[in-house]
Amino acid sequence: MFNIDGRFYALTNACVHQGARVCLGKVSGTALPSRVYEFKYGHEGRILRCPWHGWEYDVTTGESLFDPATRVVTYPVIVRDGAVYVAVEERIRP
Ligand code: FES
């Protein structure tokens, strides 16, 4: 669970690469697209780096930075009457 500027985000605690607990990773920013010899840094506080091999995810979407089709599972978060709820869907096994 992350709080970015007062908005909450819930991600599953497993990296899609090899299953590391991403909650043990660091939250930072990342290098943004820029011209040659230019370095732009942004998204501070929004990028979660897996502690095992460094895959990076955007906390607000769950998407990996290198391939948006690769993503950790995210859950809707509801704030009501000062309490934070995560909507986790129950799955029925066949
Ligand atoms: S387990 Fe997360 S990057 Fe390898």
Asked if residue 92 belongs to a domain, the reply is no
- Beta-bridge partners for 31: 41
For the cut 70, the answer to whether the pLDDT of residue 91 exceeds it is no
Asked if residue 74 belongs to a domain, the reply is yes
Would you list the DSSP string of 14-68?
A: S-TTT---GGGSEEEEEEEP--TT--EEEEEEEEEE-TTT--EEETTT-BBSS-T
For the cut 80, the answer to whether the pLDDT of residue 92 exceeds it is no
pLDDT of residue 89: 79
Which protein residues are within 6 Å of ligand 1, measured from CB? 15, 17-18, 20, 50, 52-55
pLDDT (tens digit, 9 = 90+) per residue, 14-59? 999 999 999 999 999 999 999 999 999 999 999 999 999 999 999 9
pLDDT band at 94; cut points 50, 70, 90: low
The CATH number assigned to the domain holding 14 equals 2.102.10.10
For the cut 70, the answer to whether the pLDDT of residue 70 exceeds it is yes
Structure tokens at 80: 């009501």
The pTM of this model reads 0.87
Range of the domain at 56: 2-86
Centre of ligand 1 to C-alpha 19, Å, is 6
pLDDT band at 63; cut points 50, 70, 90: very high
Domain count for the chain: 1
CA dihedral 33, 39, 42, 46 (to 10 degrees): 80
Centre of ligand 1 to C-alpha 27, Å, is 15
Asked if residue 91 belongs to a domain, the reply is no
